[in-house]
Amino acid sequence: MKPKINFVKKIIVAPLNWGLGHAARCVPMIHFLLENNFTPILASDGKALEFLQKEFPNLERLELPSYNISYAKNLKTGLFFQIPKIAKAIQLEKKVIADFVQNNKNVVGIISDNRFGVRNAKIPSVYLTHQITVLSGMLTWLTSKIHQRIIQKFDACWIPDSKENTLSGKLSQTKNKQLNLKYIGVLSRFVKEDVSIKNDILIVLSGIESQRKKLEEKLLSVFKNHPKKVVLIQGKIEENQTQKTIGNITVYNYLLSKELEREINQSEIVICRSGYSSIMDLATLKKNAFFIPTKNQTEQEYLANYLEKMHFAAFSEEKNFSFESLKRVNNYDGLSAKKTTLKKELLRLF
């Protein structure tokens, strides 16, 4: 009798390298795959790939072409002029994926978090996004139609929210019946713990570097002369983790998931951008949040307004933020969401 050979089933997990949000929400997905005897392949570029490597140092990595998206003063106009460069990167990543699948017969699936070219006709390919509707002012109908056509090329689209669109609002709503949508629940790498509050304010920065740095400078100037205990996470993935003190502010360049989970649980108020991954994390940990959306980033501006209207959290434009702004936090209910246990039936596709 021949010995039984275990077939290692690999799944490519590929988040977009746009800040750390896409990579961060792939962390629970990667744990889910590992728990169900799949071997994830970490596929991305830049800081997103570096972050995942630090979280999962023993997993294989696949470097993808960078979209090299730069931040313009007007994001929509800036992205329009970068379309040829992005389209070229998408074609290159299609080739990288095709070659990898061809040379690795044990790759049984793909999970792409907003990377348009990470799919392959030979294996099931899933698109992970909360943004079925892409807001762009008067052109929302067009940008949404283009995005949904891309989604249709995948075998399924997993939406990290409830069917009621509790956190994502109209972003995850559509009348398009041709999309194979599945609402998988709120995705977060964190677990709520009842611990003593040690930090008055936690600032978690992320996003495109020029805007990240600008907000860091603004918040340091606001809080450095106040008696509150403040912790600031710069969101800069570097070779070595660092810590320094500026007045009453403890500054880390970055924290990995378990460390960041601890700091959020121990903090009274969390200040951050209104990126969707941050919203899911804070809702899972049931925190009082104050959002400062990135200017001209329509999705973040919409989410900040939406969550305020739902009476979940306060927000302010960056230019108007002050220490006094934080007093408004007490007028809101705070974010809250049930911790999602991903269902094994999702993996039947593979």
Does residue 72 have a pLDDT over 80?
no
Least confident interval from 66-75, 83-92, 194-203: 66-75
Q: Which comes out higher in pLDDT, residue 206 or 15?
A: 15
Per the CB < 8 A criterion, the answer to whether 149 and 125 are in contact is no
Assess whether pLDDT exceeds 60 at residue 26: yes
pLDDT (0 to 100) of residue 243: 94
What is the mean pLDDT of the segment spanning 132-144?
89
In three-state form (DSSP H/G/I as H, E/B as E, the rest C), the secondary structure along 295-309 is CCCHHHHHHHHHHHH
- Evaluate whether 274 touches 307 at the Cβ level (below 8 Å): yes
Q: What number is the average pLDDT over the span 119-146?
A: 93
pLDDT attached to residue 169: 95
Match 């509150």 to its residue by tokens.
Answer: 228
pTM confidence score: 0.92
pLDDT band at 73 (very low <50, low <70, confident <90, very high): low
| Structure confidence by residue, pLDDT tens digits, 272-304 | 999 999 999 999 999 999 999 998 889 999 999
Question: Quick one: pLDDT band at residue 78, thresholds 50, 70, 90?
Answer: low
Residue 130: which region, alpha, beta or left (left: phi > 0; alpha: psi -120 to 50)? alpha
What percentage of the chain exceeds 90 in pLDDT?
78
Per-residue pLDDT, 168 = 96
pLDDT at 6 over 60: no
Residue 77: pLDDT over 80: no
Query: Of 3-7, 75-79, 83-87, 167-171, where does the model show the most confidence?
Result: 167-171
Give the model's pLDDT for residue 71.
58
Closest CA to 117 of 96, 101, 103, 141: 96
pLDDT band at 48; cut points 50, 70, 90? very high
What's the rounded Cα separation, in Å, for the pair 39 and 37?
7
Q: What is the mean pLDDT of residues 257-280?
A: 96
Residue 111 has pLDDT above 80, yes or no: yes
> What local confidence, expressed as pLDDT, does residue 3 receive?
47
Torsion sign across C-alpha atoms 241, 243, 244, 247? positive
Give me the pLDDT at residue 313, please.
97
Report the distance separating Cα 203 and Cα 233, nearest Å: 6
Give me the chain's average pLDDT, please: 91
Burial class (CB in 10 A: 0-12, 13-18, 19+), 346: middle
